[in-house]
Each structure stands twice: as structure tokens, then as C-alpha cells.
Amino acid sequence: MSPTLWIALILYLVGVGSGWWVRGSIADAEHAATDRAVEVFRASEARIAATLETKLAKLKANERVIEREVTKVVDRPVYRNVCLDDDGLRLIEAARDPAGSAGAVPGPK
């Protein structure tokens, strides 16, 4: 082989090797830039999450539970001691009294 061919082969190998090295350096730089962007994003998200947790803790500290008990009173005639009203008592008294007016329904007093 001639010396020119050897020089051309060496220059070719140096060119291929340097191209490979440059491509690897560029890829490494891109990966480093991506990693830095991811770290900045994660730091920003962590800061936002910490702020949110602080605000939620304050809200929970101010939270109050109010329990109210409502008493429901059921007032029905069935549950009272008095089973008949005044008109009912008058009708019973009139029916029990044979000397009273027969057949007439007494009115309110």
C-alpha cells in the first residue's frame, strides 16, 4: 500500500471516530439539558405541592364540626291522657242523662 492510501485511511478513521465522539457529546449534552429541565420541573412541582399542603393544613386547623340535636315532639291525640274533647264529653253526658232532651244533640256551651 502506498503512503497516501495509509494517510487517507487514517484520516478516514480519525474523521469517523471524531464524528462518533461529537455525536456522543451532543447526545450527552441533550440528555443533561433534559435532566436539568426535569429537575427544575420537579422542584417547581414540589414547591407548589408544599404550598398546597400548607394551605390545606391551615384549612383543616380552622375546620369546625357543629353537631346540632333537634328534638322532635310528636303531639298526637292518641298519646294524650285525655281521649275526648269537650264536645265528645257533652255528647256522652247527654246520652247518659235520661231526663235530658231525648234525641237532641246538645250544642256548644
Could you tell me the residue range of the domain that residue 48 belongs to? 3-96
pLDDT top residue among 11 and 48: 48
Q: Is 9 a domain residue?
A: yes
Q: Is 108 a domain residue?
A: no
Rounded Cα distance, 59 and 91, in Å? 68
Mean pLDDT of the chain: 81
- With vertex at residue 74, the alpha carbon angle to CA 69 and CA 78, rounded to the nearest 5 degrees, is 160
Q: Is 66 a domain residue?
A: yes
Query: What is the model's pLDDT at position 108?
Result: 58
Structural domain count of the chain? 1
> Which cell numbers in the block locate residue 85?
274533647
Neighbours of 94 (CB within 10 A): 15
Q: Is 89 a domain residue?
A: yes
pLDDT tens digits, 27-55:
888 899 999 999 999 999 999 999 999 99
Q: Among candidates 16, 39, 19, 38, which has minimal Cα distance to 27?
A: 19
Q: Is 79 a domain residue?
A: yes
- The residue whose grid cell reads 485511511 is 9
Q: Is 102 a domain residue?
A: no
pTM metric for this prediction: 0.38
